[in-house]
Amino acid sequence: MAELRWNPMLSTWTMVAANRQARPHLPSNWCPFCPGSGKVPETYEVYSYNNDFPALTKTPDIPDIEENGPYKVQQNYGKCEVILYSPDHHATLPSLSKEHIYKLICLLAERFIELSSDPKVKYILEFENRGREVGVTMPHPHGQIYAYPFLPQKIKIELDSCQQYFKDNNKCLICDMNKEEIRFKQRFIAENDSFIAYLPFFTDYPHGVFVVSKSHKANITSFTEKEKYELALMLKNVTGAFDNLFDRLFPYMMCFHQTPVNCDEYQDSDLYYHFHIEFYTPLREADKLKFYASSEMGAWAACNPMSVEQTAEELRKAYLKYVSAQEASDEG
């Protein structure tokens, strides 16, 4: 059973994908993403791999259930890909070199271009789930790409808010957020020539970092070679800071937020929407999770249990500690 079911109460689609129940769960004696598995090339640096258990597919199933009353149904058309970061089963983003992560950024840009060529695709989400705490079933370092035939609800809300802000102020909302975080300083984590990292004023996760391009860019395909290298370095350092924060592998969800594709309603979104990466981080302490409980899930009324001005200071120190260690390693 696999289809899209319309939620008339929230005006969005739910993906039904019963085939995903068959995914392997943290196998200890075999990995399909490692060279020698027969599933991937014997040698690779970064690699795009079609998901074996896709929620969306170019050869969609016929829905098992018919439309009725307020309930609509669609085929699960789209694409799900796995992006392998490295052939090294134990690698992590902070353990990879800037040059290696640059190649990963280039692959993500290539896949964005290819997937957007399908007129049925409306949004491309590039993301990584890391750690058992966020439900990872395969420990080999990898991200994923979902190419949806609809505009996901959270992205639509962000687009509508940014569009309204642009109409009211003739300015980009996220550009103004950048300016305010730079001015205020206390939620600021790091910057290089092309990107900044900070805990936004409103984040509902104690360590919910945003990585944002300094220049107004719509999506990953807009970046120069220098910007791709500097995005690679920023991702390496921010994820390294996470691991330094509690001296443990730090779980997170990392989501690239970019302009839609093939979407008439938002065809001018490059004017008011701005590339950024959002981290959703479940740890509030080394051994304590921040759960999304009834208020968050039942009412979408977010609650951050910690002051981001305080957690930003802690994360900033972890960032500096990681960067200093990297510089010392490079000199040695």
Of the pLDDT bands very low, low, confident and very high (cuts 50, 70, 90), residue 26 is: low
The distance from CA 310 to its chain's CA centroid, rounded to whole angstroms, is: 24
Q: One of 100, 142, 257, 276 is an active-site residue; which one?
A: 142
CA-to-CA dists, residue 303 to 156, 291, 299, 307, angstroms = 22, 10, 11, 11
pLDDT in tens, 246-266: 999 999 999 999 999 999 999
Task: Tell me how far apart the terminal alpha carbons of the chain are, to the nearest angstrom.
Answer: 56
Tell me the CATH number at 66. Answer: 3.30.428.10
**Mean pLDDT, the chain, integer:** 95
Number of domains in the chain: 1
Query: Which structure tokens are listed for 282?
Result: 């479940």
pLDDT in tens, 272-323: 999 999 999 999 999 999 988 999 999 999 999 999 999 999 999 999 999 9
Query: Which structure tokens are listed for 242?
Result: 């996470």
State the sign of the Cα–Cα–Cα–Cα dihedral 114, 221, 238, 91: positive
Which amino acid is present at 192? N
Place of tokens 């107004």: 216
Question: Average pLDDT in the 1-20 region?
Answer: 89
pLDDT of 20 reads: 57
Active site residue 100: no
pLDDT in tens, 59-99: 998 898 999 999 999 999 999 999 999 999 999 999 999 99
Among left, alpha and beta (phi > 0; psi -120 to 50; other), residue 20 is alpha
Dihedral, CA atoms, 320, 198, 91, 148, nearest 10 degrees?
A: -170
Please name which of 8, 13, 130, 27 lies closest in space to residue 63, comparing C-alpha atoms: 13
Q: H-type helices in the chain, by residue range? A: 98-116, 153-169, 173-184, 225-245, 294-299, 308-331
Question: Average pLDDT in the 166-178 region?
Answer: 98
Place of tokens 């980009």: 172
Report helix, strand or coil for 4: strand
> Where in the sequence is the domain holding 294, given as residue range(s)?
2-331
Q: Does 268 have pLDDT greater than 90?
A: yes
pLDDT of 220 reads: 98
Between 187 and 329, whose confidence is greater?
Answer: 187
> 19-25 contacts: CB < 8 A, separation 24 or more?
19/53, 19/54, 20/53, 20/55, 22/53, 23/52, 23/53, 23/137, 23/138, 24/137, 24/138, 25/137
In this structure, of 10-19, 42-51, 262-271, the range with the lowest mean pLDDT score is 10-19
Q: Give dist(CA 73, CA 84) in Å, integer.
A: 33
